[in-house]
Structure 1
Amino acid sequence: MVPDGRVLDLGTALGEPTLTTLELLERWDEQLSILHSLVADPAGDWRPLAGLMVHAPLEPRQIFQSGANYRQHVIDLGVAQRAPDDRRTVEEARAEIAAIMDKRAAEDLPYVFIGLPASISGPYDDVVLPAWAEKPDWELELAAVISRPAYQVTVEQALDHVAGYTIANDLTDRATVFRRDMPPIGTDWLRSKNAPGFTPLGPWIVPAGSVADPSDLQVTLKLNGKTMQNESTKDMIFGVARIVSYISQTARLLPGDLVLTGSPAGNGIHRGRLLRDGDVMDGSITGLGAQRTRCVAQEAAAVGAPDDPIAVK
């Protein structure tokens, strides 16, 4: 628990020294009021956050990732990735793709794929860029954290299963998104998104009740101090409730699962500037804190996954 730059060891405060974030989420409904009372207690064993190492706020059981979910982002990607023989002007291409996005919002379904928990790293950890990744890109996203199991829930019920929200940077190697050897297979999310540390997470999980409106938050990413992404979640084609409900029609969502809601416009592939050794990414979302990660080429880093990338707070 981290209010006002102070931290409280929840395991000690709750009398359960080995308590994990997952266990807390499994009992979220009964524990939330206790957490609020702990925040209000000035006599608690509070310690300054300064000087402590901040890890990812949880180790998710499952990661569900929504793609192509920001209207402007999809339009930008569609224009940037036009075929060489596409005779449309930029304006014509944007207009056609915009019309498709509007029709999709009214009639279609969210697009969701699955990520791996091993891609999670802390909000201030270095990001190792694999030697094989030719076009690593940033994708800052709002992530929902599941507390109650959810299976075939309605849109109206969906947010009752969300404990809170956090920040995720869903890094992607654009060069491996599509299979070059077998184009009919389509996308290769395993290779393009799941390298160790490719999903910096956190710093905190903010309870849903403390987030006024998840559909009206500003998502901002700066690269070496220059703003690249600065978009509201209002631009989402499908909101959090719609995505959670859609996932639950097929899969059973479990406490501790992450639902990434897609990335807004301003990615490197659109700007013609991909990640490279030494880059520093600063990401923030309204009310959820901020993360800072430095990119390190694999040749300059120790080979292998970071030691102990996840710890319970």
Structure 2
Amino acid sequence: MPLEEHRPPLEHGTLPSFAIVRYQAGQNEEAHPGVLRDGHVYPLDLEALGIGSLNEVFERWGELGVRVREAASDGGRPLEEVRLAAPVEPRQLLQTGANYRTHVIGLVVGHRSPDDPRPVEEVRDAAAKMMDERAAHGEPYFFIGLPQTVVASDGDLALPGFSDRHDWELELAAVIGKPAFRVSREEALEHVWGYTIVNDITTRDLVFRKDMPEIGTDWYRAKNSPGFNPTGPFAVPAEELPAPDKFQLRLDVNGETMQDATTDDLLFDLPALVSAASQTVPLLPGDLLLTGSPAGNGQARGTFLRSGDELVGSISGLGTQRFRCIEEAS
């Protein structure tokens, strides 16, 4: 979407009408699978469904979806009476880099050499042409995160003390349903169960290895500290939602909107991402495929997360996640 095009602001706080959740009813309980309907959380009895894990719900949704929806009829609690965990337990976490056209163009302009004689608009036009060429003939850029970084979206985020350059990246994440291995672009969405929200926290000064510049990026250290992927609060099936290119994303930090974009700005759309990722490794039920971060990160502003910062992120149809940054315990 062009920067000058205006759209109505995304409202924080809107609940999906139906979603999968994982929740704790008591202080020290393990998280249980459940369903959200009309602001209430209902238990989901996996044993009664004849399955052993939430990932099987995603895999066998065509067979079990109606019965899962029927679970929202008895024993419900108001949402505010339970504590939500991350709604998924992925075995694999795949992340996509440099995938919002406007974001990448802005990075190219912002990082141009001081010796570059070209006017800013000429640099911007050249970057736009480069992105269009990449979209037409290039491939998505993936890296892998650790599943244990997937945590509840309403807890405190402890900022590691080894850096003061921790950044936010609100992202749409696809939840894989049927296993996908070397699927075509045309088949790809058949393997997506639904969607959730992830804030892919990044330690910017660890992205590039200063001691080994020839190696390039170090995503392991930059993106895998404890709690660096607040996820949820809900996982919503695809049939409840618009087409993947119609999502609106918004992130506020301390009440100031930092990211505001729509997924029609994706360089590689969701079918292209699922297909490309599946060419290398089988995607498994419950896995998360993050689609990339739109413009508005702290790096571009020279602003990074600090203890006490409050982040509120929403994606249309998927609800809102809220968490606060704290200092890491010494």
TM-score (norm. length: structure 2)? 0.85
Contact 2:43 2:71 in 1 (8 A): no
Partner residue of 1:28?
Answer: 61
Offset of 1:47 from its aligned partner? 1.4
Instruction: Read off the aligned partner of 1:198 and give its amino acid letter.
Output: F
Instruction: Read off the aligned partner of 1:292 and give its amino acid letter.
Output: R
State how far apart, in whole Å, the 1-side matches of 2:160 and 2:115 are.
32
Change (3 A) 1:294 1:45: same
* Bigger fraction of residues in strand: 2
| Aligned counterpart in structure 1 of residue 143 of structure 2, from 84, 89, 113 | 113
Alignment size in residue pairs: 296
Residue 86 of structure 2 is aligned to residue 56 of structure 1: yes
State how 1:1-313 maps to structure 2 within 5 Å.
1-11=35-45, 15=48, 19-39=52-72, 41=73, 44-298=74-328, 302=329
Offset of 1:225 from its aligned partner? 0.6
SS of residue in 2 equivalent to 1:181: coil
State how far apart, in whole Å, the 2-side matches of 1:286 and 1:165 are.
11
SS of residue in 1 equivalent to 2:95: strand
State how far apart, in whole Å, the 1-side matches of 2:303 and 2:50 are.
46
Contact 1:75 1:98 in 2 (8 A): yes
State how far apart, in whole Å, the 1-side matches of 2:121 and 2:202 are.
27
Offset of 1:80 from its aligned partner? 2.6
Offset of 1:268 from its aligned partner? 0.7
State how far apart, in whole Å, the 1-side matches of 2:312 and 2:77 are.
25
Q: Deviations over 1:94-129 (max 9, x none)?
A: 222111111111111111111111211111011111
Contact 1:73 1:264 in 2 (8 A): yes
State how far apart, in whole Å, the 1-side matches of 2:163 and 2:52 are.
38
Contact 1:119 1:199 in 2 (8 A): yes
Contact 1:22 1:59 in 2 (8 A): yes
Change (3 A) 1:10 1:260: same
State how far apart, in whole Å, the 2-side matches of 1:245 and 1:170 are.
22
State how far apart, in whole Å, the 1-side matches of 2:83 and 2:111 are.
40
Contact 1:11 1:17 in 2 (8 A): no
Offset of 1:220 from its aligned partner? 0.3
SS of residue in 2 equivalent to 1:259: strand
State how far apart, in whole Å, the 2-side matches of 1:229 and 1:264 are.
7
State how far apart, in whole Å, the 1-side matches of 2:39 and 2:254 are.
25
Q: Deviations over 1:163-189 (max 9, x none)?
A: 110000011111111111111111110
Offset of 1:90 from its aligned partner? 3.0
Q: Matched residues, percent identical?
A: 51
> Which moves more between the two structures, 227-236 or 44-53?
44-53
Contact 2:166 2:203 in 1 (8 A): yes
Contact 1:158 1:245 in 2 (8 A): yes
State how far apart, in whole Å, the 2-side matches of 1:293 and 1:78 are.
31
State how far apart, in whole Å, the 2-side matches of 1:45 and 1:211 are.
26
Root-mean-square deviation (CA, aligned residues, Å) is: 1.8
Contact 2:248 2:263 in 1 (8 A): yes
SS of residue in 2 equivalent to 1:282: strand
